[in-house]
Amino acid sequence: MNSVLDRDDQAHLLRIGDLARMTGKSVRAIHLYEELGLLTPRTRSSGGFRLFDPSAAEQLRWIELLHGLGFSLQEMRDLRRSWWSNELGPEAMEHLRELFERKLEETRDTVRRYQQLESELEQGLSYLQTCRACATPAEVAACVHCDQDHGMTSRPALVAGITSAPERARRRSGPGFVRIEDIE
């Protein structure tokens, strides 16, 4: 850190609290980023306050963007270390490209899982929509053997997982009570 700055240079620098307010980050988060080597103050004031270049706000935006893309703070730290440890630009770019390709594939896998979940939820909601106009309202146990036409050949997995009562639960005499005969 450069500790000798004239007053004009220092006037443009930001205290950590100002940087936190400007970016919506907590002071603790900024300290953590500094500990991990993701952010470096330009200098300290005579009172010991960390002073950051205004460009630190852009660095915090980079951290937030990568975090939103699923990068951990450790991965960001490793990325920076890897980048700056390369001697040649093409070598650094190749490492960055490999990391981005891996993250892109992970993102695509996550999107596929969420699309599957979306489909399961839509099917479950469609099935449950018909339950609003139940032709034969009864105890919840009756839902397991529901005769109502739900417009589907089978119960969606999310509904079936809840409404499929285990054998022991079906033998119960009432909610929260277990018959003596059912205790093993």
Per-residue confidence (pLDDT) for residue 2, from 0 to 100: 47
- Residue 146 lies inside a defined structural domain of this protein: yes
pLDDT per position as a tens digit, 76-133: 998 888 888 888 888 889 988 988 898 899 989 999 999 999 999 999 899 888 888 8
Residue that terminates a domain, selected from 17, 52, 71: 71
Number of domains in the chain: 2
Last residue of a domain, one of 71, 87, 102: 71
d(C-alpha 124, C-alpha 156), whole Å? 6
By the 8 A CB rule, do 116 and 78 touch? no
Answer with the one of 45, 71, 97 that is the final residue of a domain.
71
Of residues 170 and 24, which shows the higher confidence score? 24
Same domain, 65 and 116: no
pTM for the predicted model, two decimal places: 0.59
Q: Determine the structural domain holding residue 127 and report its residue range.
A: 112-182
Give pLDDT tens digits for 15-64.
999 999 999 999 999 999 999 999 999 998 888 888 999 999 999 999 99
d(CA 71, CA 79): 10
Residue 67's CATH number: 1.10.1660.10
**Higher pLDDT pick, 133 / 168:** 133
Q: Which long-range contacts (CB under 8 A, 24 or more apart) does 58-67 make?
A: 60/19, 60/23, 60/25, 60/30, 60/33, 61/23, 63/33, 63/38, 63/39, 64/25
